[in-house]
A and B are shown apart, each in its own frame.
Chain A
Amino acid sequence: MGTPGEGLGRCSHALIRGVPESLGSGEGSGAGLPALDLAKAQREHGVLGGKLRQRLGLQLLELPPEESLPLGPLLGDTAVIQGDTALITRPWSPARRPEVDGVRKALQDLGLRIVEMGDENATLDGTDVLFTGREFFVGLSKWTNHRGAEIVADTFQDFAVSTVPVSGPSHLRSLCGMGGPRTVVAGSSEAAQKAVRAMAVLTNHPYTSLTLPDDAAADCLFLRPGLPGASPFLLHRGGGDLPTSQEALQKLTDVTLVPVSCSELEKVGAGLSSLCLVLSTRPHS
């Protein structure tokens, strides 16, 4: 189990999935996705992969894009990973459920213990799950239901799993994230603030919170690649995307800030938490 909170962000590998051309046309899924500048989206995605690999020193695995799965790059919705366990989700959108297959395979190959949802009544988008290092919060949103959250609780029994009502179309992770082992960052929207207040009530642990002007800026990743004790990074949306939040992010002085951009993919609902999965192959070492 490690030290509480200290397991947060520990990672050795990152998993991403290429942007299919079908996403550019906005037709692929027929789900009424807005058209994107495909080239830009792919460029940004490529840069993200580069940063993960070079800046953070992670082993990067890139799953090939699949045209039938336009939202495939948002693989953060397909799995919840903690320690050596990966819970393969059952995304709310039926069209997205096939996305989990490739991810499952990859995670399995990496040696993770795979847990399936099984329950036909459960829906769970991975980006509705916030792991703080000590506990889980699962957003009960448009995408994730109580049953889905319950399976999270069943899967990660060491940890408290609390449910947080999330209003509107957002996922929990698009409203808040972890800026450090004890720091919750959150956007300033009403939904985000509500979620954070709920979390503050539910937790037994003391967190501090940092409020950022943009909700999207709160969708950041606290990552601690490499050896224990190595300095942590915060992968966050850069000034090009969200200029007004940069100053506030500077307050997170204990992390090395690594800005990236994903303004194009954001149009289809992507955030940093959905564009990559990070994991450690030796979580208990």
Chain B
Amino acid sequence: MTTEVGPESEVKKESDNLGADTAKEKPKDEGKNQENQPSDPEEGKSSQSLPSADRRQRSPRHQKREKDPSESRGISRFIPPWLKKQKSYNLVVAKDGGDKKEPTQAVVEEQIVDKEEEDSLPEEERQAKGDAEETAQRRQLEVKVEVKEDKPSTSVAEPQPVKEASKEREEEKEEIQEEKTEVAVAKRETKEVQTNELRAEKESQKATKKAKTVQCRVTLLDGTEYSCDLEKRAKGQVLFDKVCEHLNLLEKDYFGLLFQENPEQKVFNMPSILDLPWLFTFNVKFYPPDPSQLTEDITRYFLCLQLRQDIASGRLPCSFVTHALLGSYTLQAELGDYDPEDPGHDDLSNFQFAPTQTKELEEKVAELHKIHRGLSPAQADSQFLENAKRLSMYGVDLHRAKDSEGVDIKLGVCANGLLIYKDRLRINRFAWPKILKISYKRSNFYIKVRPAELEQFESTIGFKLPKHRAAKRLWKVCVEHHTFYRLVSPEQPPKAKFLTLGSKFRYSGRTQAQTRQASILIDRPAPHFERTSSKRGSRSLDGTLIGVEDQSLMKEFSGPAEEAFAYGPGVVSAVGVQVEDSRRDVRSPTKALHVQLSEGKKSSLRVEGDNIYVRHSNLMLEDLDKAQEDILKHQASISELKRNFMESTPEPRPSEWEKRRITPLSLQTPGRKGDHLFKDILPTKEKPQMATAWAAEGGAEEADKKRSPESEGPCAGASDAVKSSHETLNIVEEKKRAEVGKDERVIIITEEMNGKELSPGSGPGDIRKVELLAPKDSTSLSSESSSSSSSIESEEDDVGEYRPHHRVMEGTIREEQEEYEEAEEEPGQAVKVVEREEAVPEASPVKQAGASAIPVETVTQENVVAPKLSGEKSINEGTIKQALSEETEEEQLKVNGEVSRVDIDVLPQIICCSEPPVVKTEMVTISDASQRTEIPTKQVPIVQTETRTITYEAPQVDGGAGGDSGTLLTAQTITSESVSTTTTTHITKTVKGGISETRIEKRIVITGDTDIDHDQALAQAIKEAREQHPDMSVTRVVVHKETELEEEGEE
């Protein structure tokens, strides 16, 4: 604001230069004229020369929906970007002092040229509908600004224009604020401000010579506009990076800048900005097939915004029910819980849930909204995405074409390949693995496909596109999609050969695999961002602290954001983004890519007819070489490569929260298993060929499929604050002193992972079958485990994805160890019943496959499942007599664990009590410990657990478990905490029937963002426990994994 007064004159000057005719209009007329003005090209043009900074904050979408045009200009909502700009301007001003004015002129001129270009393009925006309006509005705004400008005298005359204005009508306020913006802009231009702090140094040198900065405007997903100045020759990537920075978006590989030449065709492109109109749209470029794998909520949020657009525009068709459901999640995310008091929750006419919205739909939306009570915005977004991703047109990029017979069709490019639609019907599909080559020549687009089963030759299929450019565009989209979804890393652009024709364009961004990998490394607290109208803001589950400075920023922004809400409820409005935060956190890894990008682009500019061999990673190359080889071999090699791939690229793993929340996910993986099972079983008989038919398709896609388990299951919850996983290691050590000398060992391994998958398994029986096999196999140590599981699953064992987490676990366990030592001072004695409950460590590959793919555990499920499994085991093994009683014990232990957890704060140290503090639940436990066993000194064979050889030995129990509870001698609870772990040790001594028994129960709570490898954790814990207490035995190990949100389900 300090600069306000000075530039006033400049503004005036500028306004003089500009269309003086339009300046005559009165502000009041604006509202009325709004409808007319857009249609008047003259006005639009005359206003073009205005610095467009004032326009940048316009949100066409908002305005479109706002009822009252006069209020529609709630500029206050745009303050954030403006403030931000202002800041940097000031900075620069101070720095660059007095500079010449020349460059300003240049800039203005360029803008003019540019705009004319814009205008000359009939439609350049994405939606036919939105286009006209948007443009119109932009123009209208321009006009408005001018109008204001002929009044500056007023504001100048006022000693405190801002304050004055604020007392007046909204309109006026806006005007003045716009003025200020204007001022800022003018000033900046005269001062030759640099666009970005990032590049400030670099450019400041160049800039002095020929500061050809131009202004770029980017329409963001929430409808706001972001604008910045770029060096004229800057690459699109620079702009893109700036936008991402502005949005505080790290997982940016799914997004892109888009400009549109006609409403049907989108072009994601980043050639030199030089060649383009200066108006961009920020969009999702690659729709993640499974949004739950995205690491950050903010990424999901932007994806939601995109999908809401897609749905409202009809590009993503869905049924009434789905419109209603998705709409209700939108409401939940933006408004929070349904509040009957709030009229905004019932009047939904400001939202657009569907292309054509009926009252009935709104009612249904409101009805469903009530059901979602309690869902956080992030959860609501996730649910939204879970439903949206299943829509058949999700992520399908449609291109109009004709087939060889001239019939109108559409080509849909998606993650899996190329889909051919006639009308709304899918009539053919070419999965990426089937496509050998993609090419275009003039307006023809060709794919060369692998010979079908029983066929000898490859065939080439041609499509006719409306224009050469359309064909090229389709070709590029195909190349990009193929690379992104299917390759591990982008191909290098072909080397220039002498007299080479054709495009060297290649997708040079990160592939999905790479971006997922990179996402693991995202290590920041969940960024706080403002959803449209939600006042609750983003939830941070694990209590992530938002930096103080961020908060202050948010405060600054919150005002405007709320006002925005007042103007246009429900409409996606300003996103409060933390500038500081983004600066700090954005390390643009893509920088390195710029070079590549630019190369690809340059060459792409001069191409006519192009060919490209689509190489499906290594495996496809192989196929090209020996295309006629039989499929089995092919598959084998795929698996091989698969393994390599898996080993080399650890995939992000979803946080527990994610995994748990999303049932389809868990259901999916078993399904895959079932598939393989079937494939193995079925073909043997009637029609081996049949099997290959599916397998050929499926087989070729195996890479995808196999990638998905790890990618879908274990995806990086790592740094996402919202979804911190929360692990509990519950180790109960039981010391018993017994008279009778007998050694007992019971090891129970409950395949909880698998079990869980089954029990809720709403049905698919085949899955069930496979799953049930697992426990069996495991008990017998994988002797026959391979029969039902294909080799593929065992390959999944090799996924290295848990590695990084091992380290974490080891660390935490070491800390626990100390706890153990303390605990050990307890006059410990002997006996061992080793009982591992739900130990995940697999004895069989099958199981591990399952486990690695879906380490989802829900405590509630566990309880349900456990009895079942144990029952089965006792059937299978016949050696465990006690399964049921143990189950009950387990539950009681849990209760204990809970209690001790409560004690955590109270008892930070070892406390020896002569008088046992009696806790009810403890009593229960003790009574349960009636399985007396004796034999002090015998060691539990550690080897068994470690090598995962599990033996079951019948526990010697005296019949009525829980009969007499004995006498409690002492009980103590020791708690210690470290950064990520809380260890609670519970020691009880009882005397029962002459047997004194010491029981140490240790509960370790590991809190962290990352997935924790249960196997490792358990193995470590058990091992260390044994080392600590050689004279005792581990009787029970329980692992809980839970997320904070769902704790209530536990007991």
Q: Which residues of A contact B414 (CB under 8 A)?
A: 204
B325 near A1 with CB under 8 A, answer: yes
| Contact with B317, one of A157, A212, A213, A231 (Cβ below 8 angstroms) | A157
Q: List residues of B whose CB falls within 8 A of some A CB.
A: 317-322, 325, 387, 390-392, 414, 416, 422-429, 453, 663-664, 667, 671-672, 674-675, 678-679, 681-682, 685-687, 690-691, 693-694, 697-698, 701, 705, 760-769
Instruction: Kindly state the separation between the CA atoms of A232 and B768 in the bound complex, as whole angstroms.
Output: 12
Convert A178-199 into 0s and 1s, putting 1 for each residue whose CB lies closer than 8 angstroms to a CB of B: 0011110010100001001100
B697 near A200 with CB under 8 A, answer: yes
User: Smallest Cβ distance from A132 to chain B, in angstroms?
Assistant: 12
Q: Which of A3-11, A23-31, A89-97 contacts B (4 or more CB under 8 A)?
A: A3-11
Q: Does A39 contact B (CB under 8 A)?
A: no
Q: Does A168 contact B (CB under 8 A)?
A: no
B675 near A153 with CB under 8 A, answer: no
> Which chain A residue has the least Cβ–Cβ distance from B414?
A204
Q: Which residues of A contact B760 (CB under 8 A)?
A: 229
11 contacts between A and B (CB under 8 A): A149-B425, A158-B390, A182-B674, A200-B697, A202-B426, A202-B428, A210-B678, A229-B760, A231-B763, A251-B681, A254-B763
Q: Does A249 contact B (CB under 8 A)?
A: no
B682 near A201 with CB under 8 A, answer: no
Q: Which residues of B contact A161 (CB under 8 A)?
A: 392, 424-426
Q: Which residues of B contact A180 (CB under 8 A)?
A: 764-766
Q: Which residues of A contact B425 (CB under 8 A)?
A: 138, 146, 149-150, 153, 161-163
Given contacts A83-B321, A153-B423, A202-B426, contact A207 B694 (CB under 8 A): yes
Instruction: Kindly state the separation between the CA atoms of A265 and B198 in the bound complex, as whole angstroms.
Output: 78
Q: Does A54 contact B (CB under 8 A)?
A: no
Instruction: Kindly state the separation between the CA atoms of A113 and B364 in the bound complex, as whole angstroms.
Output: 14
> Which chain B residue has the least Cβ–Cβ distance from A207?
B694
A206 near B672 with CB under 8 A, answer: yes
A253 near B319 with CB under 8 A, answer: no
B416 near A196 with CB under 8 A, answer: no
Q: Which residues of A contact B767 (CB under 8 A)?
A: 254
B429 near A202 with CB under 8 A, answer: yes
> Which chain A residue has the least Cβ–Cβ distance from B324?
A284
A201 near B429 with CB under 8 A, answer: yes
> Which chain A residue has the least Cβ–Cβ distance from B666?
A3
Q: Which residues of A contact B664 (CB under 8 A)?
A: 3-4, 6
Given contacts A1-B387, A251-B682, contact A158 B769 (CB under 8 A): no
| Contact with A200, one of B320, B427, B693, B762 (Cβ below 8 angstroms) | B693
Q: Which residues of A contact B675 (CB under 8 A)?
A: 182, 206-208
Instruction: Kindly state the separation between the CA atoms of A212 and B391 in the bound complex, as whole angstroms.
Output: 32
Instruction: Kindly state the separation between the CA atoms of A204 and B701 in the bound complex, as whole angstroms.
Output: 10
Given contacts A5-B671, A284-B321, contact A153 B764 (CB under 8 A): no
Q: A157-B319, A193-B690, A224-B763 are in contact. List 20 more A-B contacts (CB 8 A).
A: A3-B663, A3-B664, A3-B762, A157-B318, A160-B426, A181-B764, A188-B686, A200-B693, A200-B698, A203-B429, A206-B705, A208-B675, A211-B690, A228-B762, A229-B760, A229-B761, A230-B763, A253-B769, A254-B766, A254-B767
| Contact with B424, one of A154, A188, A193, A229 (Cβ below 8 angstroms) | A154
- CB contacts under 8 Å to B, within A37-55, are none
Q: Does A110 contact B (CB under 8 A)?
A: no
User: Smallest Cβ distance from A256 to chain B, in angstroms?
Assistant: 9
Instruction: Kindly state the separation between the CA atoms of A12 and B770 in the bound complex, as whole angstroms.
Output: 28
Q: Which residues of B contact A186 (CB under 8 A)?
A: 690
Given contacts A6-B667, A181-B671, A209-B690, contact A254 B765 (CB under 8 A): yes
Q: Which residues of A contact B698 (CB under 8 A)?
A: 200, 206
A4 near B672 with CB under 8 A, answer: no
A156 near B319 with CB under 8 A, answer: yes
Q: Which residues of A contact B682 (CB under 8 A)?
A: 208-211, 251
Q: Which residues of B contact A232 (CB under 8 A)?
A: 763, 765
Instruction: Kindly state the separation between the CA atoms of A193 and B454 in the bound complex, as whole angstroms.
Output: 14
| Contact with B426, one of A146, A163, A229 (Cβ below 8 angstroms) | A163
Q: Does A248 contact B (CB under 8 A)?
A: yes
Q: Which residues of B contact A1 (CB under 8 A)?
A: 321-322, 325, 387, 390
Q: Does A85 contact B (CB under 8 A)?
A: yes
Instruction: Kindly state the separation between the CA atoms of A230 and B761 in the bound complex, as whole angstroms.
Output: 10
A204 near B416 with CB under 8 A, answer: yes
- CB contacts under 8 Å to B, within A220-264, are 224, 228-232, 248, 251-255
B674 near A158 with CB under 8 A, answer: no
Q: Which residues of A contact B416 (CB under 8 A)?
A: 204
Instruction: Kindly state the separation between the CA atoms of A1 and B426 in the bound complex, as whole angstroms.
Output: 20
Instruction: Kindly state the separation between the CA atoms of A183 and B631 in the bound complex, as whole angstroms.
Output: 22
Given contacts A149-B425, A163-B426, A201-B429, contact A158 B318 (CB under 8 A): yes
User: Smallest Cβ distance from B660 to chain A, in angstroms?
Assistant: 14
A211 near B663 with CB under 8 A, answer: no
Among B322, B664, B690, find the residue whose CB has the most chain A CB atoms closer than 10 A: B690
| Contact with A158, one of B392, B422, B453 (Cβ below 8 angstroms) | B392
Q: Does A84 contact B (CB under 8 A)?
A: yes
Given contacts A180-B764, A228-B762, contact A248 B685 (CB under 8 A): yes
B428 near A201 with CB under 8 A, answer: yes
Q: Which residues of A contact B423 (CB under 8 A)?
A: 146, 150, 153
Given contacts A211-B682, A232-B763, contact A84 B321 (CB under 8 A): yes
A158 near B391 with CB under 8 A, answer: yes
Q: Which residues of B contact A196 (CB under 8 A)?
A: 690, 693
Q: Does A135 contact B (CB under 8 A)?
A: yes
Q: Which residues of B contact A212 (CB under 8 A)?
A: 686
Q: Which residues of A contact B320 (CB under 8 A)?
A: 113
Instruction: Kindly state the separation between the CA atoms of A162 and B320 in the bound complex, as whole angstroms.
Output: 21
User: Smallest Cβ distance from B873 to chain A, in angstroms?
Assistant: 21
